[in-house]
Amino acid sequence: MKAYLFPGQGSQFVGMGKDLFENSEIAKKLFEKANEILGFRITDIMFNGSEEDLMQTKVTQPAVFLYSVILSKTLKEFNPAMVAGHSLGELSALVANQTLSFEDGLSLVSKRAQAMQKACEAAPSTMAAIIGIEDKIVEDICQTITDEVVVAANYNSPGQLVISGSIKGIEIACQKIKAAGAKRALPLKVGGAFHSPLMNPAKVELEEAIHSTPFYQPVCPIYQNATARHSSNPIEIKSNLIAQLTSPVLWTQSVQNMITDGATDFIEVGPGQVLQGLVKKINGSVNTMSAQ
């Protein structure tokens, strides 16, 4: 069974999507429609902008979404038995399995990016990647830090967990986690504490937009970040998508559940190959590939 995976923020690169735009009429129309919806020419930034321009959250999130979704729509063969997306990628997956229209998906991504940007500016915060230590030890250490916000945010693969919180909280946690035996505790260059309680203002803002957006019956189930379980129920999908902003990304658990439910081939649709690498770390016996 084929599972299609959609990457999140961090996989972007200058020039992504340019080949699609130049070689596919479908892609060109969708990119131009995106320029209209967003009110600025995101294609100019994606194809020819600077890395700094592309790194802005309000640009990065729609850019990764557009490249992933438009690539899926130009594939000769696209027949997912199931889909999943990492963080932002969950919205790409929801367009790919027809829960959301392209236009509504892009609109929600844009609103999500702007709401998260505001939350980041209101409460300076960050994230750190923890490598080479058991998840339970990291979780326990985070719980000992009571005067700062620090939580487990991304369960990416066994031995790779990202924590999220206040700047001071992350500093304290990294020191404690290194002392407990972690191979690395690496601060990440991100705008804020994604998938933590500090994103609550963004969650409140996005909740209204999600509730007012039509969600349709999907053509295949999606395994959602907040639960790691599959869903084909539009009401349940909405609820899980709202929860995602302040809940950890249960990626390891999602991939394990997809394999248990019959996934044998994982196809990454979007920039980079990060998700393929994570899948291989979670279970080396399955096939991974990039969408062509």
* CATH at 144: 3.30.70.250
The tens digit of pLDDT for each residue in 138-172 reads 999 999 999 999 999 999 999 999 999 999 999 99
Q: How many CB atoms lie within 10 A of CB 276?
A: 18
The tens digit of pLDDT for each residue in 96-137 reads 999 999 999 999 999 999 999 999 999 889 999 999 999 999
Query: Does residue 192 lie in a domain region?
Result: no
Mean pLDDT to the nearest integer, 185-203: 92
Same domain, 116 and 130: no
CA atoms within 13 A on the CB side of 116: 28
For the chain, give the percent of residues with pLDDT over 70.
100
Instruction: Determine which one of 87, 196, 231, 247 is catalytic.
Output: 87
Q: What is the pLDDT of residue 82?
A: 98
Instruction: Determine which one of 86, 110, 164, 195 is catalytic.
Output: 195
Structural domain including 36 reads 2-120+197-290
Detail the DSSP E strand segments found in 111-159.
Answer: 125-131, 150-157
Q: How many domains does the chain have?
A: 2
Same domain, 217 and 161: no
Residues in the chain, total: 292
Query: Does residue 268 lie in a domain region?
Result: yes
Q: What is the pLDDT of residue 10?
A: 83
* CA separation, residue 135 to residues 123, 155, 156 (Å): 26, 8, 11
* CA separation, residue 101 to residues 69, 140, 166, 183, 268 (Å): 11, 41, 36, 43, 20
- In which band, very low, low, confident or very high, does the pLDDT at 28 lie, cut at 50, 70 and 90? very high
Same domain, 12 and 153: no
Active site residue 87: yes
Same domain, 112 and 14: yes
